[in-house]
Structure 1
Amino acid sequence: MSVTVVGSINIDTVALTDKYPERGQTIFGNKIEYLPGGKGANQATAVARLGKEVNMIGAIGHDLYGDKLIESLQGSKVNTRFIKRSDSLSTGTAIITIDHTAENTMLVLKGANEDLNKSDIESAFNQIKDSEVLLVQMEVPQETVIRAMQLAKEKGMYVILDPAPAEGITIKALDYADIITPNRQETYHMLGIDVLGIDSALEAAKTFENMGVKNSIIKMGDKGSVVYQSGNWEHIPPIAVKAVDSVGAGDAFAGALACAITDGFDIVSGSHFATAVGALKVTKLGAQMGIPTIDEVEAFCSEQGLKHCNLNESTV
């Protein structure tokens, strides 16, 4: 069985610097890279590298960047059959700056991602027969995301909503989500609740429950995450690593969660696994290039003595 991802496909222009320039200031950076990215493509890559079949539904332009992105996805064994080539828009671009702490700022130009429409979704879903999980974000048009979620529910698929970025969120998507996985910024944007710790995370989870989503994973950055299931909850602690690049960590988490659910694990076990995948991702540069393989994750869990982050362990 497979995972289907509907979302963005971008080329990331990544600038590494010791510090961010102040407004109006010019400084010298250290390095620039042109890397495959986009939240949808990142998540599809994570699923594939973790050993699952995955369909990518998205849009790119008729340009060299689009060619490079297709090549990268295929290299990770992502099914690119349902990726559209836009006749009017160029491939999406993210301009990313990363400082010495591995934190990032990002400016995203949607480009061809805006050309992914409902008819593209309907055509793809008519051909996809064996997918169990749909994974969506909010970097493509809202009506496109909603249509994908509707069709997934009709097919009995489990729908994971990663409500990112905050600027693209639509509350209507909650009507079709089986689980939502917001970070602090996204939770505040949707609910007005600033998640500073477990208590405020639980407040957010209960608010989502009242809005119709019984399951949630409230991500708290260096404080870990809170997994909430119909009134029951568990705190998942963070895993300390030496951070290099935080871009794509949330996408690695989402892809790993989709893999766990496809394998029949509950969301607590899935969150332990996803936390390990996300932690390992931040140790490497590149939203997609830094995503670990399943063998790397298993080795990491073993080296760190993390008994609850390996889906092959009976202790999960």
Structure 2
Amino acid sequence: MPDPFTVPEVSRAGLCVVGSFMMDLIAYAERQPRPGETLIGYDFVQAPGGKGFNQALAAARAGAPTSMLGRLGTDSFGDEFLAALGAEGIDCSGVIRDEKTGTGVGHPTVARDGQNAIVVVPRSNSSLTPDDIREHRCAITSAGVMLLQLELPMPAVLEAARIAHEAGTLVILNPAPFSPLPDELLDLCDVIVPNEVELAQWAGRRPADDGQVAELAQNLADDHGLTVIVTIGDRGSLICAPMSPITRVGAHHVTAVDTVGAGDTFCGHLAALLSMGSALPRAIGRASAAAAITVTRRGGNASPTTAETDDFLAKAGQGPTPLLTTARTSS
């Protein structure tokens, strides 16, 4: 029986993140404003974000040589992103400055009870084209792993996946935010990392339990010949691969104060560790630990460093891989 933890061998070091930049402008108030109402808030935070940037940051903090390909405006927000990339040692030679369109922004309003509403304006992210990807293809072809999300135009995402696939670069897709996925894209991927909500949206039905989540993921893995890692919150994650056991990876249990960045931390650390030659079980275990640390911290850019992850695991008295249990065997 095939090993469920086998992914294509990474032949080159380094990780390329093809993704988005969103400057988060976060307003905090006692409640959400009503239509037409002006509400006085009690706090404001400006922080670099966007799934691409967040995942690149996490990957760099996990220790991988990391580059990023995307679009920024020539405004002050763009300058702030470049400074942040440089501070983390991320190669930004593939980051294009857009003189016509400003840097993407997100404007969440967060109520005291944690409920939030968000307006996202992609701006320069929406201008990334297949030609841009081709012009900076060296960032992809020189890396062992490429990490994608869906905050960019689908033609650009598809072109990046094609280039990586043809170059033998391992293609990891975090299919968020939800968008219908063309079979062409799935067939170019080696690993996809959805959460259970995104998986249900693709399937058009909400699974009642983890067994049904596993069934949906297994069907996706079998149909497209790829490895599916479904994150299921504090229950851990499920790994599905064609003709292999469906396997649960246990979670690290902590007291969460802010879960927003957990998925990006998990994906960034996972991709980074695979790019450095880690076996999939170890990569998932350490990515789970890093995500657990993230949810204990408030605010953006909360992904831990390698040393912080090591310390967390040592204090927990655990190795890098949580308990693995086989859920069932696919037919």
- Aligned partner of 2:248 in structure 1 is 235
Counting only pairs closer than 5 Å after superposition, residues 272-311 of structure 1 correspond to structure 2 as: 272-288=285-301, 290-309=302-321
Cα displacement string for residues 8-47 of structure 1 (whole angstroms, at most 9, x for unaligned residues):
0110112345555566766554321000001111111111
- Aligned partner of 2:149 in structure 1 is 137
Question: For the Cα contact (< 8 Å) 1:8–1:41, is it kept in 2?
Answer: yes
CA distance in 2, matches of 1:236, 1:16: 36
Question: For the Cα contact (< 8 Å) 2:71–2:96, is it kept in 1?
Answer: yes
- TM-score where L is the length of structure 1: 0.90
CA distance in 2, matches of 1:8, 1:50: 20
Counting only pairs closer than 5 Å after superposition, residues 22-171 of structure 1 correspond to structure 2 as: 28-99=40-111, 104-126=116-138, 130-167=142-179, 169-171=181-183
Residues 35 and 280 of structure 1: is their aligned pair in 2 closer, same or farther, counting only changes over 3 Å? same
Unaligned runs of 5+ in 2: 1-12, 323-331
CA distance in 2, matches of 1:66, 1:106: 21
Question: For the Cα contact (< 8 Å) 2:262–2:291, is it kept in 1?
Answer: yes
Q: How far is 1:263 from its partner? A: 2.6
CA distance in 1, matches of 2:171, 2:140: 15
Higher relative contact order (CA 8 A, sep 6+): 2
Residues 169 and 70 of structure 1: is their aligned pair in 2 closer, same or farther, counting only changes over 3 Å? farther
Q: Which residue among 242, 263, 280 is the counterpart of 2:276? A: 263
Residues 79 and 237 of structure 1: is their aligned pair in 2 closer, same or farther, counting only changes over 3 Å? same
SS of alignment partner, residue 13 of structure 1: strand
Cα displacement string for residues 173-207 of structure 1 (whole angstroms, at most 9, x for unaligned residues):
21111011111221122122424532022111122
- Aligned partner of 2:235 in structure 1 is 223
Return 216-225 or 95-104, whichever deviates more.
95-104
- Aligned partner of 1:247 in structure 2 is 260
Question: For the Cα contact (< 8 Å) 1:103–1:246, is it kept in 2?
Answer: no
CA distance in 2, matches of 1:309, 1:267: 10
Q: How far is 1:129 from its partner? A: 5.1
Cα displacement string for residues 39-67 of structure 1 (whole angstroms, at most 9, x for unaligned residues):
11111111111111111000011101111
CA distance in 2, matches of 1:164, 1:107: 16
Cα displacement string for residues 74-127 of structure 1 (whole angstroms, at most 9, x for unaligned residues):
111111111011122110011224455666543321110011111111121136
Report how many residues are paired: 309
- Aligned partner of 1:313 in structure 2 is none
SS of alignment partner, residue 80 of structure 1: strand
CA distance in 2, matches of 1:207, 1:193: 14
Match for 2:26: what amino acid?
V
Unaligned runs of 5+ in 1: 311-316
Match for 2:221: what amino acid?
E
- Aligned partner of 2:10 in structure 1 is none
CA distance in 2, matches of 1:211, 1:228: 12
CA distance in 2, matches of 1:26, 1:240: 40
CA distance in 2, matches of 1:100, 1:82: 39
CA distance in 1, matches of 2:172, 2:202: 17
CA distance in 1, matches of 2:225, 2:40: 46
Cα RMSD of the aligned pairs, angstroms, is 2.2
SS of alignment partner, residue 54 of structure 2: helix
CA distance in 2, matches of 1:22, 1:168: 32
Question: For the Cα contact (< 8 Å) 1:249–1:287, is it kept in 2?
Answer: no
Question: For the Cα contact (< 8 Å) 2:14–2:276, is it kept in 1?
Answer: no
Matched, 1:175 2:167: no
CA distance in 1, matches of 2:64, 2:29: 35
Give the share of equivalent positions with the same residue, in percent: 31
